[in-house]
């Protein structure tokens, strides 16, 4: 990352910096309170605008684009035009990351508060609200499954390919998901149905409206996170920088977009309600989150422990059952009513639909990667299929994951902040060990963890991981995990970004350029 920073005021309030001030060590200069970081925010905004424009040719473009398909700008979708679009897209991504890291250095130094971070995040997200999907095509599946529900097909029994209406919606669904059941909760399918009922066959309007609806989840997070920080002991600027302004949020969850954002809104508000002893409300909120994306269900057993520890009198065991019974009494009717309202019947076919994502097999999922390594070693000697190796490793990982989840739940038995911490670890473990592992899945636990105290070195790790998880998929939504030269470049960029948070220009590349 660059060594430049936004101008800091001198003691007399002047924006001018003397040569003597410039000569001071960075550690001394960075303690000076910063002006509003206009340059950093502008840098990220320019990067986001480049992402939006370049995505017209390099992102998750439509099979039949009514705007660029046959007009004078159609060249951006093909050949050298598409290659140029990719150059601009990755340049925009680099600017967003650069700006985010600069902002992080100000946060670490205590030079800025929460407001500049939120302004930055808003400016960086704004161009992406009207962008083609970035690094994914999932939003087309959302619309396809919503169309199924709208036209009377069961999304848990049929894939969008069964539809004989809305051809633009159907043809843009990724081939892998054309014939697979929906893995999402019924309430989200109802949301997608509502969107398609408004936008119909207009895919551009469908994508934009989906983003706007998912921003409800972001608004809920923005309301809950400051209050969670007060309970969990973090620093609000750090939390907002990690959870809201990061490339994982800006590019994946908003630029994607992904319905995880809406689920996270209900999850964070549910956790907050538990900490504030509004236990019934917490169960309702997290159950609604589960009806959007089933992963939220991981939080419910932890909420029961927290509820039990807020009860007065009685043994721990007795209080556990005093909390468990009303929690079940709330969960069951909310779950049944939510499913019935969404689908018109108590259809829990989404439980079998959860198997659909396991069709994705790549080494980003840890057990899948181990299985592929063993397969590669054996394949040197014997010509065997890879599937048994992956299947066995995934089965072993599921046993280990189950044991880990039970342990985290047991460690949370004292409730309070500790229970929230173990809940977040459990959500992360599911994202990493349960197949598949998709980059944006790590936000499930990470958003909760962002509200705790963070050490700078751990924040640097988050920078590296965030950059890596955005880049391992191509802008089109196809994974690039087996393009080893590409992955080598991604790893190098991730490490450099991480190091730049703690030490500007860690390889002294900018310094060498200036000397020349």
Which pLDDT value is given to residue 513?
A: 63
Closest CA to 35 of 59, 69, 71, 6: 6
Residue 470 tokens, joined: 């955005």
Residue 135: the pLDDT is 96
Q: Are 421 and 385 in contact (CB under 8 A)?
A: no
Asked if the model's pLDDT at residue 7 lies above 60, the reply is no
Q: How far apart are CA 304 and CA 310, in angstroms?
A: 10
Lowest-pLDDT range of 18-22, 42-46, 200-204, 463-467: 18-22
What tokens appear for 273 in the block?
Answer: 């309600």
pLDDT at 14: 34
Dump pLDDT digits (tens) for 320-345: 999 999 999 999 999 999 999 998 88
Output helix, strand, coil percentages for the chain, rounded to the nearest 5.
Answer: 70, 0, 30
3-class SS at 112? coil
Q: What is the pLDDT of residue 3?
A: 36
Burial (CB < 10 A; 0-12, 13-18, 19+), residue 323, is buried
Mean pLDDT of the chain: 90
Residues in a beta bridge with 479: 473
- Specify the pLDDT at position 434: 93
Please name the residues in contact with 395: beta carbons below 8 A apart, sequence gap of 6 or more. Answer: none
C-alpha closest to that of 171 among 205, 148, 140, 147: 140
> Higher confidence at residue 357 or residue 201?
201
DSSP at 35: P
Position 355 confidence tier, pLDDT thresholds 50, 70, 90: confident
**Which of the four pLDDT bands, split at 50, 70 and 90, describes residue 354?**
confident
Q: Whole-angstrom Cα distance, residue 308 to residue 306? A: 5
Residue 104 host element (H or E) = helix 79-109
Question: Residue 365 — φ and ψ, nearest 5°?
Answer: -80, 120
Give φ, ψ of 473 to 5 degrees.
-105, 140
Q: What percent of the chain has pLDDT over 70?
A: 91
Burial class of residue 92 (count of CB atoms within 10 Å of its CB; 0-12, 13-18, 19+): buried
What confidence category does residue 514 fall into, taking pLDDT thresholds of 50, 70 and 90?
Answer: low
Find the length of the chain: 516
Packing angle of the helix pair 416-433, 387-411 (nearest 10 deg): 180
CA 261 to chain centre: 7
pLDDT digits (tens, 9 = 90+) for 96-152: 999 999 999 999 999 999 999 999 999 999 999 999 999 999 999 999 999 999 999
C-alpha–C-alpha distance, residues 508 and 434, integer Å: 40
Q: State residue 12's pLDDT score.
A: 31
Structure-block tokens of residue 476: 């089109």
User: How does pLDDT run across 386-403, given as a tens digit for each residue?
Assistant: 889 999 999 999 999 999
* pLDDT above 80 (res 28): no
Q: Is residue 103 within 8 Å of residue 25, measured between CB atoms?
A: no
Cβ distance 330 to 437 under 8 Å? Answer: no
Q: How far apart are CA 270 and CA 277, in angstroms?
A: 11
Residue with tokens 């840098």: 43
**C-alpha pair distances (Å), 394 with each of 331, 388, 481:** 30, 10, 19
Judge contact between 99 and 48, C-beta under 8 A: no
Residue 1 tokens, joined = 């990352």
pLDDT at 30: 46
Could you tell me if 184 and 145 are in contact, meaning their C-beta atoms sit under 8 angstroms apart? yes
| DSSP category for residue 252 | I
- CA separation for the pair 489, 166 (Å, rounded): 40
Percent of the chain at pLDDT > 90 equals 78
Contact 475, 89 (CB under 8 A): yes
Q: What's the pLDDT band for 33 if we cut at 50, 70, 90?
A: low
Q: What is the pLDDT of residue 34?
A: 59
pLDDT tens by residue, 221-278: 999 999 999 999 999 999 999 999 999 999 999 999 999 999 999 999 999 999 999 9
Per-residue model confidence (pLDDT) at position 310: 95
Residue 22's pLDDT is what?
A: 37
The CA distances from residue 104 to 23, 116, 281, 328, 456, in Å, are: 23, 11, 35, 42, 10
Tell me the C-alpha distance between 185 and 207, whole Å. Answer: 19
- Contact of 200 with 186, CB cutoff 8 Å: no
> Is 90 exceeded by the pLDDT of residue 410?
yes
* CA separation for the pair 105, 247 (Å, rounded): 16
């Amino acid at each position: 990352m660059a060594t430049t920073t936004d101008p800091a005021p001198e003691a007399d309030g002047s924006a001018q910096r003397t040569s003597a001030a410039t000569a001071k060590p960075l550690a001394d200069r960075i303690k000076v309170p910063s002006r509003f970081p206009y340059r950093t925010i502008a840098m990220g905004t320019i990067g986001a605008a480049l992402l939006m424009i370049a995505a017209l040719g390099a992102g998750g473009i439509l099979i039949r684009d009514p705007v660029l398909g046959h007009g004078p700008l159609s060249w951006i979708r093909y050949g050298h035009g598409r290659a140029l679009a990719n150059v601009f897209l990755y340049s925009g991504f680099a600017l967003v990351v650069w700006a985010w890291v600069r902002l992080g250095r100000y946060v670490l130094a205590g030079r800025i508060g929460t407001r500049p971070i939120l302004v930055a995040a808003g400016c960086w997200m704004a161009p992406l609200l009207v962008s083609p999907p970035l690094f994914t095509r999932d939003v087309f599946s959302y619309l396809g499954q919503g169309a199924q529900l709208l036209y009377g097909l069961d999304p848990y029994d049929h894939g969008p390919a069964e539809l004989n209406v809305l051809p633009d919606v159907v043809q843009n669904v990724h081939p892998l998901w054309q014939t697979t059941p929906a893995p999402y909760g019924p309430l989200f399918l109802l949301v997608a149905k509502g969107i398609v009922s408004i936008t119909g066959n207009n895919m551009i309007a469908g994508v934009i409206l989906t983003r706007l609806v998912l921003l409800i989840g972001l608004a809920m997070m923005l309301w809950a996170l400051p209050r969670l920080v007060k309970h969990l002991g973090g620093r609000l600027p750090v939390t907002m920088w990690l959870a809201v302004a990061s490339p994982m949020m800006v590019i994946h969850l908003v630029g994607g977009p992904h319905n995880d954002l809406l689920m996270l809104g209900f999850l964070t508000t549910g956790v907050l309600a538990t900490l504030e002893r509004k236990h019934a409300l917490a169960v309702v909120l997290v159950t609604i989150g589960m009806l959007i994306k089933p992963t939220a269900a991981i939080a419910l057993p932890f909420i029961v422990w927290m509820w039990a520890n807020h009860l007065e009198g009685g043994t721990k065991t007795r209080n556990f059952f005093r909390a468990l019974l009303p929690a079940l009494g709330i969960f069951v009717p909310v779950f049944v009513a939510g499913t019935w309202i969404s689908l018109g019947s108590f259809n829990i076919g989404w439980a079998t639909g959860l198997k659909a994502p396991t069709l994705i097999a790549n080494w980003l999922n840890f057990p899948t990667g181990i299985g592929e390594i063993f397969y590669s070693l054996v394949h040197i000697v014997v010509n065997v299929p890879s599937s048994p190796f992956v299947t066995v490793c995934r089965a072993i990982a599921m046993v280990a994951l189950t044991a880990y989840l039970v342990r985290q739940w047991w460690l949370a038995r004292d409730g309070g902040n500790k229970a929230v911490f173990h809940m977040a670890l459990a959500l992360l473990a599911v994202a990493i060990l349960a197949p598949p592992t998709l980059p944006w899945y790590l936000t499930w636990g990470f958003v909760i963890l962002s509200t705790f105290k963070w050490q700078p070195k751990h924040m640097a790790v988050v920078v590296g991981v965030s950059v890596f998880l955005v880049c391992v998929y191509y802008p089109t939504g196809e994974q690039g995990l087996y393009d080893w030269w590409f992955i080598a470049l991604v790893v190098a960029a991730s490490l450099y970004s991480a190091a730049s948070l703690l030490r500007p220009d860690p390889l002294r590349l900018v310094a060498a350029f200036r000397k020349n």
